[in-house]
Structure 1
């Protein structure tokens, strides 16, 4: 098993260890020594690939951004020309993730709580991602022909974010059910504009 692990390049092992530990125990709760040990390498090797713990946190969150974007890209491919199905699919993806036994909520929301400095590079990655994500939801709402895409998108993002927080303290069953109910209502009740945008 160890021989198999050692075939993975050190940088990838370090990122995989950081992802696991940061998500499970929090950014502040994990030191570089623990990450190096989990990656079966040394602190010196870790610092050869990442100049600081902040740089490692930032790169981890960039990988999380890529995963998030890949979900929306997959939904676009699965439901071409059907923006409402894409939005509902995203909500379903969130509920599936929240229902996982090892889920600790949204890594971005968790990280923001530990990164109060808005100038921190990792915090800037999160804020840029959330802004881009919101713009994408607005565009999907516009493509669906909703009369006020910005307002619907704002509510959609609000309930998605809120569900991820609520699930951690109130349990997933009711949270997931309510999330899908609210999203369906948003998409069904939002009045269409005169002609859908393409």
Structure 2
């Protein structure tokens, strides 16, 4: 029997958040390769709206170990999110998405909380996100940042990365169309 960790209110009714079944009867677990097509299905509408950065199927498979998924009682993957380590103390929350019928039920909260726990286990002390969902991340302790949050020597090291998310973080001109209107946010763990 999972132990109760806390009770949160995500709409008019309180939802009990447990270690095994976080919110709305979903379980958050590490993603498996068999989840990748569903992750792409969850993300694709948000890519079409310009909310998330598109990723080819091969990239999702290459990065499946970074993902957590929320699975409902029927076994359907209803949400996903990834934690990407950017530097010794810094990680990025990426590709956080929930199925339309689950939005506002705590699925995103449960995934984000699990990713933050993963970050702590890895020894990260700061999490970054680039988002249109400022309200959601603000409610979870993230705050807007305008200035660079890394030292210049780290910036130059990170320039060597071929990762598009790192390019967005560094605010490189080649990814400007992907980042227009997004807000850079940071949370200290």
Q: TM-score scaled by structure 1?
A: 0.28
Q: Greater strand percent: which structure? A: 2
Q: TM-score scaled by structure 2?
A: 0.29
Structure of greater relative contact order (alpha carbons < 8 Å, 6+ residues apart): 1
Q: Greater helix percent: which structure? A: 1
